């Protein structure tokens, strides 16, 4: 068998491995902003925002992987982990709201706007 032939197998396990490799290369290993250019007084807020982005991305990844698998035990664990990632979002958000009082006010405004426009 040629050395590269395994890459073209299309079983769900191979597809998942390929997707995880792409995800790790493109998402987890890179911070989406240059933290070196952030002012010192904003650094912790930016770190926490990056954390929230990473956790939301993880929720999306695990839920997509859960949709792909045909094994209930794998699906169950992936969805359980996705739920845990939502907790991590909340942890980062709680820390961010300690650092960014303007965000608290804007979250309230956003919630009020949705209520006004949808009720």
Catalog residues that contact Fe ion under the rule CB under 5 A. 55, 85, 88
In whole angstroms, how close is the CB of 109 to Fe ion at the nearest point? 28
Query: Is the separation of the CB atoms in 57 and 24 below 8 Å?
Result: no
Q: Give whole-number Cα distances, 99 to 50, 54, 104, in Å.
A: 14, 19, 10
Tokens of 44: 């912790």
With respect to Fe ion, which residue has the nearer C-beta, 11 or 30?
30
In whole angstroms, how close is the CB of 59 to Fe ion at the nearest point? 9
Query: Which among 1, 3, 5, 20 has a CA at the least distance from the CA of 78?
Result: 20
Element (DSSP H or E) covering residue 18: helix 12-23
In whole angstroms, how close is the CB of 30 to Fe ion at the nearest point? 17
What is d(CA 35, CA 46) in angstroms, rounded to the nearest whole number? 8
With respect to Fe ion, which residue has the nearer C-beta, 46 or 58?
58
With respect to Fe ion, which residue has the nearer C-beta, 46 or 85?
85
Residues 6 or more apart from 83 whose CB is under 8 A from it? none
With respect to Fe ion, which residue has the nearer C-beta, 84 or 106?
84
In whole angstroms, how close is the CB of 51 to Fe ion at the nearest point? 8
Residue nearest to Fe ion (CB): 88
């Amino acid at each position: 068998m040629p050395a590269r032939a395994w890459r073209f197998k299309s079983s769900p396990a191979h597809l998942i491995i390929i997707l995880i490799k792409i995800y790790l290369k493109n998402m987890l290993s890179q911070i989406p902003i240059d933290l070196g250019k952030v002012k010192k007084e904003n650094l912790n807020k930016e770190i926490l925002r990056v954390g929230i982005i990473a956790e939301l991305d993880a929720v999306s990844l695990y839920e997509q992987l859960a949709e792909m698998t045909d094994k209930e035990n794998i699906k169950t664990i992936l969805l359980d982990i996705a739920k845990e990632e939502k907790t991590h979002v909340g942890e980062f958000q709680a820390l961010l709201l300690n650092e960014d009082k303007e965000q608290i006010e804007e979250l309230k405004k956003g919630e009020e706007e949705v209520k006004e426009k949808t009720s």
